[in-house]
Structure 1
Amino acid sequence: MENKNVLLAVILSTAILIGWSFYFENPEEAQRKRAEIQGKTETQTNIQKPEAPQPSKANPAKSISRNEALKESDRVLIENKNLSGSISLRGALIDDIILKNYRETLDPNSKPIVLLSPKKYEQGYFVESGWATTKSDIKVPDNNSLWQIKEGKKLTPNSPITLEWNSREGLIFSKKIEIDDKYLFKITETVRNDKNRAVDLFHYGQITKNAKPTTENFYILHEGLIGVVDKNLKEETYSAVEKEKKTYNGKSGWFGITDKYWMSAIIPESGKSFKGEYSFTNNYKANFIISEPNTISPQKSAAGNIKIFIGAKEVYPIDSYAEKEKIDRFDLAIDWGWFYFITKPLFFVIDYIFKVVGNFGVAIIILTALVRSVFFPLSNYSFKSMAKMKVLQPEMLRIKELYKDDVRRTQQEIMALYKREKVNPLSGCLPILVQIPIFFAVYKMLFVTLEMRHAPFFGWIKDLSAADPTTIFNLFGLIPWEPPTFLMIGIWPILMGITMYLQQKLNPAPPDPIQAKIFAWFPFIITIMLASFPSGLVIYWTASNILTMAQQYYIMRKTTVKTV
C-alpha cells in the first residue's frame, strides 16, 4: 500500500508540474511581454525606430553555385590561422568564410567546413552591419551598395582594411574591419556629415541565413537562433521563428544563429540600449538596432562599433571572448544543458586528462574511474545493503510462503527482518539516482563539445562523438552488407549490454516473477537504445559497469548475514 501511495504521489506531482508550465506563463515570458507593453507605451520620443534594412526578397530565377555567386562581386580576401574567405564589396557583406582546421568527414582530404556563403546561393548565409534612418530623403548604404577599398589589400590579424561608400548627397560612410587569430571581427563604422543639416542614424547588425540545416533535429541540442539579452538566454528554433517574429529590448547581450558546432553572432556596442529581433520572411534573420540615434551635426562625424563572431564553438576561445571582450554569458553559445554546473567542469577535467594521455577514449575511461571514486562511499553503502538483501532472499521467500494468505502479516515480518538486519531496501536506488545527472552530463559533454568531434579511440572507433560503426548483423563487417540504421548494434554496445547483464546477476532478483522477467530484458533493451549513441558515452558506461561489478563483487564476498 505504501508503494502505491508513493507512486500516486509521484504521478500527481508530475501532473501538477506539467499543468503549471502548460497553463501558466513562465516568469521570463511574462517579463518579455511586460517589456513589449512598456515599449509600446513609451512616450519619450515620437520617432518610429527603424528595422534593420532587409536583404532583397527576390529569389534568383535559377539557383546558382557558390563559386558563381562569389564571382558576382569584387572581393577583399580574409586570412588567419583558422579562417579563410572574403568580404563582398557589394554590400560590404561578410559572406564567404571557410573553417580551415575542420573538415566535413574523417577523411583528411575531404572538403573543409564552409560556414558563410553569398546571398544568391541557395545556402546563402552572411553577416552585415551599417546604418538605418527614419527619413526617406537620407540615402544610406544597403546590402547592394558598391563599396571601395580605401586602405589595405587583405584582411589579416596584422593588416586591417577600410572600406568607403559615398552617398553623393553629403554623407560619407567608412568601415574599418579587423580580425584576430581566431574567430572575432571588430568593425568600426564612421559617418561624416557634409550636409548643411543634422542627420539621425541608427547603427545595426544583422545575420541572414537562407535555409535551415538539412541535418536531423537533435532533441537535446539547440540549433537555430540564439542570443542573450540582459543576461537572459533567448533561444528560438527555426520553426518557431517561421510562425512568429520575436523581439527583445535590452542594454547588453548578443544575437546569433547556431548549428551544433558552428555559429555566427553579432555583439552590439557596449553600454547602448538596443532592440533585437528574430524573424523569417524568405530567410532567417537575427539582428539588433541601437535604440537611440546618432545625431550627426553638419561637418561632424560619428561612429558605431560592432563585434562579430564567426567560427567554431571551441570552449576556450568562447570563454576567452566572454571574459576579455566582456560579452554577457557568451559561454552559453555552447549548449551545456540543464546540468551546466556539472557538464562544463567535466569537460575541463577530461580535457586536462586528454592533454596528459593524448587520447580522448582513454581520458573517458580515466574520468569514469574518477567519478566512481567520488561515489565510492555511497556505492559501498548501497552494495552492502544489496548484498544483505541477496543473502536475506531465501528468508524473505520463506516468510512469504509461511504467511501467503495474510499480506499484512507478510509485510510486517519482512519489515521486521529488515530492521533486525539493518537493511534499507531502497538504498540500492540512491547511488543510481545521484549518478543520473552525471550520466546525462557526460552524454551532453560528448555530444555538444567540438573537441570530441572526430576524436579517435582505438581500432574501429575513429570518432568518439559518433555511434559505433560496426554491427552484429553483418558480422562486424565480414558480410558485405550495409544494414539499416536501427540494426546498427556494434561491438561496444554489445560489450556494454554484457556488462549490464553480469552486473544484474550480482544483485538480488526481484521477488515478483513479472518484475524479474522485465529486469531480465533490461540489458537487451538498453543495448538497442544506446547503440546509436556516441561511442564515447557507451565506452563510459561499459567502463563504469566493470568498475561497479568489481566493487560490488568484493563487497558481496565480505558480507554475511545471520538470520534468525
Structure 2
Amino acid sequence: MENQRNVILAIGLMALVLFGWPYALEFFYPARPATIEDAVEAPRPGLKNSNAVPDTGTAPKVIRERKAVIAGSARVPIDAPRVAGSINLTGARLDDLVLKDYREKLDKNSDLVHLFSPAGTGDQYFAQFGWIGEGVTVPTSQTVWTANGSKLTQKTPVTLSWTNPAGQRFEITYAIDANYLITVTQRFVNTGPAPAIVRPLGLINRTSANADPSTWTVRNGPLGVFDDVADFDVHYDDLDENPKKLVEYTGNIDWLGFTDHYWLSALIPAPDTKGQMAGNFRALGGKLYQSELLFDTTVVAPGRQIETKSMLFAGAKETELLDDYVDAKNIKLLDRAVDWGWFIWFEKPIFKLLNWLFEQVGNFGVAIILLTIIIRGLMFPIAQKQFASMAQMRAVQPKMKALQERYKDDKQKLQQEMMELYRKEKVNPLAGCLPMFLQIPVFFALYKVLLLAIEMRHQPFALWIKDLSAPDPLTPVNLFGLLPFDPPSMIAIGVLPIILGVTMWLQFKLNPAPMDPVQQQVFSIMPWVLMFVMAPFAAGLQLYWAMSNVLTIAQQKWLYSRHPQLKELAAKEAAEKAAKADGKGKA
C-alpha cells in the first residue's frame, strides 16, 4: 500500500511540476522593475528630443504581395551559406531574409522560412540602421543609398553610402558570417563647416500579426538581456496598454529584439561599446512594434568622423550556435533566447546528450529510445533498491496490520510503533518512490527540449511519425485517416498515446494490487486518463514515456525473478481477488 501511495504521490508531483511550476515562478519571482511602468528617460543634452520615434516611414495602407514589393525596389542581393535575400537601397533596410535550411511546413516542397519581409506586406519584419541628428540632415526611410558592391556574401561585405546636401557623408557597412550574424558598421563623416550632433541607432520593426503567441511554457515577443539579466516580462499587449507605448532600458544593454518559437532577431552592441547606449521597446499602433538600440549622442567637429559598430542576429535559435556566439563573440546570455526556464542546468545537458545520440544514429526517434535506455540503465541500481524495499514492505504487512488493530484508537502511538517496526526490519517506506522522483526532472527536461529545440523541428522517426516535435497524427477516431475529417485535439488520441496507456496499464498490473479499493480504482483508470492527457504532447515525448514503460516492464519481470516473495505475493493476491470475484458471482 505504501508503495502504491508513493507512486500516486510521485505522479501527482510530476503533474504539479509540469503544469504548475511556471505559475509558482511568477509568484515567487515577480517581474523586474524596469518594465512598462518605467519612466521615459529624459532627453539627452545636445538633442531636443532624443526619444523621438526613429524614422521608419509609413507602411502602405494596402497590403501588398511580398514578391511584388521586392521586385519593385532597387536591391543588393544577399547570398550567404545559410541565408539569402536582399537589402533595400531605399532606407538601407534589411527587409528580405530567407533561411536556407528551414521550410515553413513539413512538406519538402513548401516555401523556405521568410524571416524578414518588407514594409507594407502582411508579414512586415525588417531591420534598419540610421541616425537621429540636429544641425545635420540625416538619412530617412525614403533615402536612396548607393552600394559599392553587387552582392553581400560571407567574403564580400557591402557598404552603402549617402551624402546630404551639405556634403556630409553617411556610410553603413554590412558583413555576414557563415550563419546568422551580420556585423554593421555605421560611419558619419562631417565634411561641413559646423559641428554636427548625431546619435546612431539600429531598430527592428515587425508586425505581431504573424508572431508566435506566448504560452505558460514558451515566452515569445519582445526580449532582451540588460545588465546581464534576461528580461522576459514585456509582451506585445503590455506595450499596447502602456500610456507611453514605450519601455526603455538604460545602462548595460547586452542585446534586445523579438523572439518567436524557433526564430530570433536581435540588435547587439559591439563588446567595446557596452554602457554607451539605451534600448527601447515601442508600440507603433496597428500591430506594429519596434525594438531600438540607441547609442550615445556625439558632437562631431568639422573634419572629424565617428564610427559605431553593432551586430544583428537574424535566424534560427540553434542551441549550439547560440552557445558559440556567447563564447566567440562575447554576446552575453544569447542562449537565453531559447526559453529554457529555471531548469536550464538540467535541460541543456539532456539536449546535448540527445543531440549527440542523433549525430551518431541519424534518427531522432532512435536517439530518444537510446536516451531512454541510458536513463533507465543509470537508474537501474535505484530500481533494484526499490524492489527490495517493496519486498520488505510486503514482508512486514502482517505486523503492520497487527499494529493498526492494536493501536487503532491511538494514532500517535501507532506512528511510533510503525517507525520502530521500520527500524527493526530495516525498511525505508520512501525508497519505493525514489525512481519516480528522479524521472520528474528528466521528463520535464525532455518535454522542454522537444518543445523548444529547433533541432527537433520536423524530425521524423519511422512509418507515420514524420515530426517528433508535433503530436502523433494517426488516430483511430477517424479510422486512421480513412474518414475525411480532423477530430478535435481533445479526442484525437494517436497510436503512440494508446501504446503509452497500454504499457502503463501492464506496468501497474505487474505491481502487487493495493489493498485499498479506492487505490485500486485510481490505478485502474490512471493509464487511460494519462493517455488522453498526453495525446496533445509531442510524439517524441510520447515515444520516450512509452519506451520507458516497456523497459520498466522488462525490468520488473527480471526483478520479480530476483525477489520471489513479491511474485508469490502478487500471485496470491490475484488468486484471492479471483476467488472473491467468483464468490460474488455465485452469490
Q: RCO (CA 8 Å, sep 6+): is it higher in 1 or 2?
A: 2
Q: In 2, Cα distance between the equivalents of 1:170 and 1:521?
A: 80
Equivalent position SS for 2:431: coil
Match of 1:296 among 289, 293, 300: 300
Write out per-residue CA displacement over residues 63-99 of structure 1, whole angstroms, 9 at most, x where no aligned residue.
Answer: 2111222234211111112111111111100001111
Range that drifts further, 159-168 or 397-406: 397-406
Q: In 2, Cα distance between the equivalents of 1:394 and 1:48?
A: 87
Flag the 1:179–1:59 CA change in 2: closer, same or farther, 3 A.
closer
- Is the 8 Å Cα contact of residues 52 and 288 (structure 1) preserved in structure 2? no
Residue 372 of structure 2 corresponds to residue 368 of structure 1: yes
Using the TM superposition, give the Cα deviation of residue 393 of structure 1 relative to its aligned residue in structure 2, in angstroms.
Answer: 4.8
Range that drifts further, 176-185 or 63-72: 63-72
Equivalent position SS for 2:272: coil
**Which residue of the partner structure matches residue 279 of structure 2?**
276
Aligned residue identity for 1:493 = P
Q: In 2, Cα distance between the equivalents of 1:472 and 1:395?
A: 49
Aligned residue identity for 1:423 = V
Root-mean-square deviation (CA, aligned residues, Å) is 3.1
**Which residue of the partner structure matches residue 574 of structure 2?**
none
Using the TM superposition, give the Cα deviation of residue 251 of structure 1 relative to its aligned residue in structure 2, in angstroms.
Answer: 2.6
Range that drifts further, 307-316 or 515-524: 515-524
**Which residue of the partner structure matches residue 287 of structure 1?**
292
**Which residue of the partner structure matches residue 253 of structure 1?**
254
**Which residue of the partner structure matches residue 266 of structure 1?**
267
- Is the 8 Å Cα contact of residues 220 and 259 (structure 2) preserved in structure 1? yes
**Which residue of the partner structure matches residue 238 of structure 1?**
236
Flag the 1:147–1:59 CA change in 2: closer, same or farther, 3 A.
closer
**Which residue of the partner structure matches residue 575 of structure 2?**
none
Equivalent position SS for 1:485: coil
Write out per-residue CA displacement over residues 243-263 of structure 1, whole angstroms, 9 at most, x where no aligned residue.
Answer: 233221123401111111111
Using the TM superposition, give the Cα deviation of residue 508 of structure 1 relative to its aligned residue in structure 2, in angstroms.
Answer: 4.1
Q: In 2, Cα distance between the equivalents of 1:19 and 1:210?
A: 31
- Is the 8 Å Cα contact of residues 89 and 148 (structure 1) preserved in structure 2? yes
Using the TM superposition, give the Cα deviation of residue 312 of structure 1 relative to its aligned residue in structure 2, in angstroms.
Answer: 1.2
Equivalent position SS for 1:463: coil
1:184-263 alignment, distance < 5 Å:
184-213=181-210, 215=212, 217-235=214-232, 236-244=234-242, 245-263=246-264
Range that drifts further, 441-450 or 263-272: 263-272
Aligned residue identity for 2:239 = V
1:114-133 alignment, distance < 5 Å:
114-133=114-133
Using the TM superposition, give the Cα deviation of residue 476 of structure 1 relative to its aligned residue in structure 2, in angstroms.
Answer: 2.6
Residue 548 of structure 2 corresponds to residue 544 of structure 1: yes
Flag the 1:515–1:183 CA change in 2: closer, same or farther, 3 A.
same
Using the TM superposition, give the Cα deviation of residue 165 of structure 1 relative to its aligned residue in structure 2, in angstroms.
Answer: 1.3
Equivalent position SS for 2:393: helix
Flag the 1:476–1:381 CA change in 2: closer, same or farther, 3 A.
same
- Is the 8 Å Cα contact of residues 403 and 409 (structure 1) preserved in structure 2? yes
Q: In 2, Cα distance between the equivalents of 1:21 and 1:485?
A: 28
Q: In 2, Cα distance between the equivalents of 1:192 and 1:302?
A: 7
TM-score, normalisation: structure 2: 0.85
Q: In 1, Cα distance between the equivalents of 2:75 and 2:248?
A: 33
TM-score, normalisation: structure 1: 0.88
Write out per-residue CA displacement over residues 163-200 of structure 1, whole angstroms, 9 at most, x where no aligned residue.
Answer: 11121123210111111121111111111112211112
**Which residue of the partner structure matches residue 175 of structure 1?**
172
Q: In 2, Cα distance between the equivalents of 1:173 and 1:120?
A: 26
Q: In 2, Cα distance between the equivalents of 1:107 and 1:45?
A: 55
Using the TM superposition, give the Cα deviation of residue 205 of structure 1 relative to its aligned residue in structure 2, in angstroms.
Answer: 1.0
Range that drifts further, 332-341 or 91-100: 332-341
Q: In 1, Cα distance between the equivalents of 2:481 and 2:26?
A: 48
Q: In 2, Cα distance between the equivalents of 1:351 and 1:271?
A: 34
- Is the 8 Å Cα contact of residues 213 and 220 (structure 2) preserved in structure 1? no
Equivalent position SS for 1:275: strand
Flag the 1:36–1:478 CA change in 2: closer, same or farther, 3 A.
closer
Match of 1:386 among 375, 383, 390: 390
User: Identity across aligned pairs (percent)?
Assistant: 37
Match of 1:141 among 115, 139, 142: 139
Write out per-residue CA displacement over residues 139-180 of structure 1, whole angstroms, 9 at most, x where no aligned residue.
Answer: 11122221122x110111122111111211232101111111
Using the TM superposition, give the Cα deviation of residue 50 of structure 1 relative to its aligned residue in structure 2, in angstroms.
Answer: 1.4
- Is the 8 Å Cα contact of residues 339 and 452 (structure 2) preserved in structure 1? yes
Equivalent position SS for 1:382: helix
- Is the 8 Å Cα contact of residues 85 and 97 (structure 1) preserved in structure 2? yes
Residue 155 of structure 2 corresponds to residue 158 of structure 1: yes
- Is the 8 Å Cα contact of residues 129 and 206 (structure 1) preserved in structure 2? yes
Using the TM superposition, give the Cα deviation of residue 422 of structure 1 relative to its aligned residue in structure 2, in angstroms.
Answer: 2.4
**Which residue of the partner structure matches residue 86 of structure 1?**
86
Equivalent position SS for 1:194: coil
Q: Which runs of 5+ in 2 are unaligned?
A: 570-587
Using the TM superposition, give the Cα deviation of residue 232 of structure 1 relative to its aligned residue in structure 2, in angstroms.
Answer: 0.6
Write out per-residue CA displacement over residues 335-372 of structure 1, whole angstroms, 9 at most, x where no aligned residue.
Answer: 22221111111111111111111111111111111112
- Is the 8 Å Cα contact of residues 59 and 119 (structure 2) preserved in structure 1? no
Equivalent position SS for 2:217: coil
Q: In 2, Cα distance between the equivalents of 1:503 and 1:516?
A: 14
- Is the 8 Å Cα contact of residues 205 and 268 (structure 1) preserved in structure 2? no
- Is the 8 Å Cα contact of residues 252 and 271 (structure 1) preserved in structure 2? no
**Which residue of the partner structure matches residue 585 of structure 2?**
none
Residue 486 of structure 2 corresponds to residue 489 of structure 1: no
1:323-362 alignment, distance < 5 Å:
323-362=327-366
Q: In 1, Cα distance between the equivalents of 2:138 and 2:58?
A: 21
Write out per-residue CA displacement over residues 371-420 of structure 1, whole angstroms, 9 at most, x where no aligned residue.
Answer: 12222333322232124334555665566567767766765665554344
Flag the 1:430–1:222 CA change in 2: closer, same or farther, 3 A.
same
- Is the 8 Å Cα contact of residues 393 and 429 (structure 2) preserved in structure 1? yes
Flag the 1:361–1:19 CA change in 2: closer, same or farther, 3 A.
closer
Using the TM superposition, give the Cα deviation of residue 218 of structure 1 relative to its aligned residue in structure 2, in angstroms.
Answer: 3.1
Aligned residue identity for 1:557 = S
- Is the 8 Å Cα contact of residues 61 and 120 (structure 2) preserved in structure 1? no
Range that drifts further, 516-525 or 323-332: 516-525
Flag the 1:432–1:61 CA change in 2: closer, same or farther, 3 A.
same
1:435-446 alignment, distance < 5 Å:
435-446=439-450
Equivalent position SS for 2:142: coil
Equivalent position SS for 2:178: coil
**Which residue of the partner structure matches residue 576 of structure 2?**
none
Flag the 1:356–1:372 CA change in 2: closer, same or farther, 3 A.
same
Write out per-residue CA displacement over residues 88-130 of structure 1, whole angstroms, 9 at most, x where no aligned residue.
Answer: 1111000011112211122111111111000111220000111
Equivalent position SS for 2:306: strand
Equivalent position SS for 1:539: helix
Write out per-residue CA displacement over residues 268-310 of structure 1, whole angstroms, 9 at most, x where no aligned residue.
Answer: 13233211111212211111111x3232110122111111111
- Is the 8 Å Cα contact of residues 365 and 461 (structure 2) preserved in structure 1? yes
Aligned residue identity for 1:164 = S
Aligned residue identity for 2:238 = A
- Is the 8 Å Cα contact of residues 178 and 186 (structure 1) preserved in structure 2? yes
Flag the 1:482–1:342 CA change in 2: closer, same or farther, 3 A.
same
- Is the 8 Å Cα contact of residues 165 and 174 (structure 1) preserved in structure 2? yes
- Is the 8 Å Cα contact of residues 390 and 507 (structure 1) preserved in structure 2? no
Aligned residue identity for 1:285 = Q
